[in-house]
Chains A and B, each alone.
Chain A
Amino acid sequence: MIPELVDWVSDPANWQGTDGVPARVLQHAGYVALALLIAAAIAVPLGLFVGHTRRGAVVLVGSGNAIRALPTLGLVTFLFLLFTDSFVAALIGLVVLGVPPILAGTYAGIQAVDHDVVDAAEGMGMRGGQRLWRIEVPIALPLILGGVRNAVLQLVATAAVAAYVGLGGLGRYLFDGLANFDYGEVTAGAILTALLAVILDLVIAAVQRALVPKGVRIATAGRRAAGPAATEEVVA
């Protein structure tokens, strides 16, 4: 495996043109970014609404869990037969799988805001909208971005699977390599996909650090040490 991998990686032809590594990495990241934008545009407002008004929470949690059990390959092949276009099918599949983590993060983040803080804001004369944007959203931001982070991992993985129905990106190396018995290409593609996921995860972690207000960061530092499960007890 290792010599084949070295052969593939050291061949300059694999680093140029539309099939080259830079082009494929950008393509893969592009699918992820596009699907993430659409998924966030759907999930964040919905999560804010449900978290703020506490309406429809049961439906939301239930459907989120059901989608988590949905097999990505089944979804992607189903959508492909429906739309017979790999880009449209893959994009819809990516959005469907990207929405639940962001929705769950946004909802959990807004819900985890201390009632006393919201009461205090109301006491100071803040209206609903002001409370939402100036109090609830900043405090919920770590969990919202945590949801975005989970969504990105899901999207990188699903975009690779979607190469099976003809999508471009790094998944091409995996399937083309398997079809041609070029295991150097398969292994290189797998490593590149894993690297892309790790790097995007680090980028979002950095964004998370930069965007979350300092006061919230200090306040949550103690909670995070106790793990994500602790957030429920903090609310209570």
Chain B
Amino acid sequence: MTFLDELSRFLGSENVRAQILANLLDHCYLALLPLVFGAVLAIAAGWLGRGRRRVRGVLFVLSNLLYTIPSLALFMVIPGIIGTKFTSSANVVVGLTVYTTALLVRPVLDALDAVPPHVVASATALGYRPARRFFAVELPLAVPVLAAGVRVASVSNISLVSVGALIGTGGLGVLFTDGFQRVYFAPIVVGIVLTLLLALVVDLLLVALRRSLTPWDRAAPGKAEVSAA
């Protein structure tokens, strides 16, 4: 039997297709929820660490250290720290949130510190209080750098969710353990292809989101913002 026959037989079953769709949806939320949490936490860290060298130093060392921890090990240490079950999908969400935050802290802080002082001064002179200035002026200017980091994190999250299947959570990784146990190529190939496609689609959506969040980039093409800084 050729591989294509095997594949069409595997995908021919209605149950299998429903199961794959469920896995895909699980995969989406397990990868994207941490992306949102991580971005929010990194922005909070940016608010805390902006302009403070000591806090920045601590945040950098901590995020480097956390990013070093291998995914499977992190997923399995988390239950011991927060008291979840070993097979809970919360471990994957928390673990990927840790990675996303660790990845984004540095670019967010660098981007916030790169906001030109005269822009901050103008906003202050216009009567913006610190909180409003942060969200209405400094953070939007940091969006291009933040978006670049979020794109990297989304690709890595989507690829890492699969590892969660080893501790029994859902997602496309189930197709890999299933194919391995049944010595069956079709689910593994379908899982790999869907993971790559999901990463591509989410990446395109993030590019579109970034464009809609930074209309001034289109008004002044050629990176006027960067050269002004």
Does A70 touch B at the CB level, under 8 Å?
Answer: yes
B residues 45-84 touching A (CB-CB < 8 Å):
65, 67-74, 76-77, 79-80
Binds A, one of B12-20, B36-44, B185-193: B185-193
Residue numbers in A under 8 Å from B71 (CB-CB): 157, 161
A171: chain B residues within 8 A (beta carbon): 72
How many residues belonging to A are interface residues under a CB distance threshold of 8 Å? 44
Smallest CB separation, A236 vs chain B (Å): 9
Q: Is the C-beta of A165 less than 8 angstroms from some C-beta in chain B?
A: yes
Do the beta carbons of A193 and B72 come within 8 Å of each other? Answer: yes
Is there an interface contact between B106 and A72, defined as CB atoms closer than 8 Å?
Answer: no
**B-contact bits for A60-100, CB 8 A (1 contact / 0 none):** 00000110111111110110110000000000000000000
Is A41 close to B, CB under 8 A? no
A159's nearest neighbour on chain B, judged by CB, is B70
Taking CB atoms, residues of chain B closer than 8 Å to A70 are 159, 192, 195-196
Q: At the interface, yes or no: A227 with Cβ under 8 Å from chain B?
A: yes
Asked whether A69 lies within 8 Å of B72 as measured between CB atoms, the reply is no
**Residue from the set B71, B77, B107, B188 with the largest chain A CB neighbour count within 10 Å:** B188
Q: Across the interface, do B77 and A81 meet the contact criterion of CB distance under 8 Å?
A: no
Enumerate chain A residues within 8 angstroms of B185, measured Cβ to Cβ.
78, 81
Q: Which residues of B contact A69 (CB under 8 A)?
A: 155, 158-159, 195-196, 199-200
- Kindly identify which residue among B86, B180, B199 contacts A183, using a CB–CB cutoff of 8 Å: B86
CB distance from B147 to the nearest CB of A (A): 12
Within 8 A of B (CB), among A207-236: 226-227, 229-230, 233
Contact: A178 with B167, CB < 8 Å?
yes
Decide if B183 is an interface residue (CB 8 Å cutoff). yes
From A73, A81, A160, A198, name the one whose CB has the most chain B CB atoms within 10 angstroms.
Answer: A73
Instruction: Determine whether A156 belongs to the interface, using a CB cutoff of 8 Å to chain B.
Output: yes
Cross-chain contact B76 with A187 (CB below 8 angstroms)? yes
The stretch from B117-125, B133-141, B169-177, B207-215 touching chain A is B169-177
A-B contact count (CB 8 A): 141
Closest chain B residue to A66, Cβ basis: B196
Q: Is the CB of A194 within 8 A of B70?
A: yes
B155 & A65 in contact (Cβ 8 Å cutoff):
yes
> Chain B: how many interface residues by the 8 Å CB criterion?
50
Beyond A1-B79, A186-B86, A191-B77, is A198–B165 a contact (Cβ under 8 Å)? no
Q: A175 to B184, alpha carbons, bound, how many Å? A: 21
- Interface centre among A72, A74, A81, A201, by most B CB within 10 Å? A74
**A73-B70 contact in complex given A66-B196, A190-B77, C-beta closer than 8 Å:** no
Q: How far is the CA of A78 from the CA of B175 in the complex (A)?
A: 11
Does B106 contact A227, Cβ atoms closer than 8 Å? yes
Interface of B, helix, strand, loop or mixed by DSSP? helix
Chain A CB within 10 Å, residue with most, of B68, B191, B195: B68
A197 interface residue, CB < 8 Å from B? Answer: yes
Most buried by B among A71, A156, A230: A71
Q: Do B155 and A197 touch across chains, with their CB atoms under 8 A apart?
A: no
Tell me, in angstroms, the Cα distance from A12 to B172 when the chains sit together: 40
Complex CA gap A157/B192 in Å reads: 19
Taking a contact as CB atoms closer than 8 A, the residue among A5, A68, A153, A187 that contacts B159 in the complex is: A68
| B176 contacts across to A, CB distance below 8 A | 71, 73-74, 77-78
In the bound complex, CA of A209 to CA of B196 (Å): 37
Q: Is B88 an interface residue (CB 8 A)?
A: no
In Å, the complex CA distance between A164 and B188 comes to: 15
Q: What CA separation (Å) do A70 and B200 show in the bound complex?
A: 11
With both beta carbons as reference points, the residue of chain A lying nearest to B145 in the complex is identified as A229
Contact A81 to B179, CB < 8 A, known contacts A72-B163, A161-B163? yes
A83 to nearest B CB, angstroms? 13
Rounded to whole angstroms, the CA-CA distance of A198 and B67 in the bound complex is 9
Beyond the given pairs A186-B86, A191-B77, 4 more chain A to chain B contacts, judged by CB atoms under 8 angstroms and listed by A's residue number, are A81-B180, A161-B71, A174-B73, A201-B68
The 7 closest A-B pairs by CB, nearest first: A157-B70, A71-B162, A69-B199, A193-B73, A190-B76, A1-B80, A190-B73
A and B contact pairs by CB, cutoff 8 A, 6 listed: A68-B159, A74-B192, A78-B179, A161-B163, A190-B77, A229-B110
